[in-house]
Amino acid sequence: MRSLFFIPLLGMLLMFSGCAPEPEIAEEPGVVDRVQVAIMLGEGFHDGEAYMPYAYLTNLGAEITVIGPEVGTVTAYNTDFTINIQRPVADVSVDEFDALILPGGQAPAKIRENEAVVAFAREFFESGKPVAAICHGPQILITAGVMEGKNATGFEDIKGELEEAGATFHDEAVVIDGNLITSRTPPDLYDFSKAIEEKLMMDPAY
């Protein structure tokens, strides 16, 4: 899907997700120009948690690639919104991307059963590049075995999972621990997206 499809959805998604702050829209793209970002999801993703970071970062000049277990169209669990998985995770490389985003919904619990998904998430995390997960998104990182000793947040229902994986749970809009960015639910989406932007801009290469 092209960015022109996503950007007009931004205001609507903010309204439906309950995000009070209105994001600042850059007058010209280029704030994170040339940055390559992967969004990894599957059937049953949460619409706002995929669309909002996509639109926000696209508006700043980033190039977005949607990856997942296999190519094709998948549908959100909470609406009839769809998104096209452009490349299978088995055919992409960590070296191709500067950041990885893991939206929530019902998809993380499903796609973490895919070995290629888990292996890619683990390798990406261990590369030191930014990994951002919201709501149920951290479930993929739990299965990847990279949450030991980390400060993190997520949907309240996965608090127990996070703690069993060795993470310390914080009930905060955004928790940043090294290259890990986590958020709770759709009302945190603006803060989540802004944190990704700021993490990318910390690297002088961007």
* Residues forming the active site: 136
Strands 87-88 and 63-68: parallel
Number of helices (H) and strands (E), helices first, in the chain? 8, 11
CA 122 to CA 178: how far, in whole Å? 15
Of 110, 122, 1, the closest CA to residue 51 belongs to: 1
CA 162 to CA 177: how far, in whole Å? 14
Number of other CB atoms surrounding residue 124 within 10 Å = 25
**Partners of 156 in the β-ladder:** none
Q: What are phi and psi of 45, to 5 degrees?
A: -70, 165
